Amino acid sequence: MRKSMSITLQDIAEQAHVSVTTASKVINDKASEIRISPKTRDLVLTVAKRVGYKPNPFAQSLRTKKSRSFGVVVAEMRNPYFGAIISGIEQASIARGYYPLISSLENNFGEEKACVEVHRANRAAGILFAGTVFRLEEGILHQLAEDNIPVVFIGNKVEALRIPYVDVDNVKGAFLATEHLIKLGHRRIGLILGPDEIPASAKRWKGYKRALEEYGVQYDKRWVEQETQLRSDPGSGYSAMMRFLERDPPTALCTFNDQYALGAIRAAVEKGLTIPQDLAVVGFDNIAAAAYYSPPLTTVEQPMLEMGKIAANMLIDAIEGTLKEERSFVILEPKLIIRKSCGAGP
């Protein structure tokens, strides 16, 4: 028996005792074209499943003249947040016989158009944008619509165009983080936000303020720092925390993402503070490194893998013309993961 990766239609046909044409029609769901009996169809499918046959999407593309690949444009590959999302995209798309072609801006925003043109040149059946929407020209989106190239967003939405999207409830996530610190007795709670260009930043600021208001804690703009650099590495959190430390610092801190949190902790420790005794810290995302930091980081978990899977399935449904309106706009629930960086974790 050949290894499953090299199993061909010829092998399926021989084991099912049918012609290659019959096997091909069954595998490609075109049995009705030559009136294949249900018994023969079931036999072919049983053999294919037993030997682990998987159709070659590129060969299918050549036969049908329809691309089995789609483009993915992400803000930065080095960010673990996007890494998890890409894993979800790959898992879902490969399971359905599609292959994602990934391009990264590495925060060189304004290059979205060039990425789109590359994907168009490669006959991408659709394009998925993750973290790039805030600098994406609407003209590009209109052109893609005119060319019947479906688009899906992760992490944002374009209200006027009603493009399908997947996101997490950022307001609720920031509320949960801030609420946790308030319940631990903190009243001087700092916040490190991402740049204005990132839509999630404003939503998390809103959730932070909502928690303060609900629990009767005075909002003070002195406790809010915002990074302007379009990057998500620990250096952003480090520099923001250093600015806090130049004045009377907060006793607790919410950050835009886990990488900000790790950078902020580094800055605080360098200045002689102890985590969590002098400063309690909550991140956002729940990247893999968060659980292994010292101390392990309390954070708001985004279901990043699931976001990637849902977005990929959305795009493939749109490509195949089966995407329903009610499944076009998905907001997922965040979850507070309590660890020791706030002094109240396992």
Per-chain mean pLDDT for the chain: 87
- Domain 170-302+335-342 matching CATH 3.40.50.2300: the answer reads yes
> Is the peptide bond preceding residue 276 cis, with omega within 30 degrees of 0?
yes
Share of the chain above pLDDT 70, in %: 88
- Which fold does the domain 4-55 belong to in CATH? 434 Repressor (Amino-terminal Domain) (1.10.260)
> Is the peptide bond preceding residue 295 cis, with omega within 30 degrees of 0?
yes
Q: Which of 65-69, 299-303, 326-330 has the lowest mean pLDDT?
A: 65-69
Alpha helices in the chain (DSSP H): 9-16, 20-27, 38-51, 57-64, 80-95, 112-121, 138-146, 170-183, 199-214, 234-245, 258-270, 304-320
Look at the block and give the residue holding tokens 């010292």: 294
Q: Look at residue 99 and tell me whether its pLDDT is greater than 70.
A: yes
Instruction: Spell out the domain ranges in the chain.
Output: 4-55, 67-167+304-331, 170-302+335-342
Calpha distance 298→286 (Å, rounded): 8
The pLDDT-based confidence of 2 (bands split at 50, 70, 90) is: very low
User: What average pLDDT does this structure show over 304-325?
Assistant: 94
Q: Look at residue 33 and tell me whether its pLDDT is greater than 60.
A: no
Q: Which residue has the higher pLDDT, 238 or 198?
A: 238
- Domain 67-167+304-331 matching CATH 3.40.50.2300: the answer reads yes
Q: Look at residue 59 and tell me whether its pLDDT is greater than 80.
A: no
Q: Look at residue 62 and tell me whether its pLDDT is greater than 60.
A: no
Is residue 130 exposed (0-12), middle (13-18) or buried (19+ Cβ within 10 Å)? buried
Which pLDDT does position 162 carry in this prediction? 83
| pLDDT tens digits for range 192-228 | 999 888 889 999 999 999 999 999 999 999 999 998 8
Q: How far is CA 217 from the centre of its chain?
A: 33
Q: Which two tokens stand for residue 63?
A: 């036969």
**Ramachandran region, residue 154 (left: φ > 0; alpha: ψ -120 to 50; beta: rest):** beta
Domains 4-55 and 67-167+304-331 share a fold: no
Return the closest-CA partner of residue 60 out of 310, 321, 320: 320
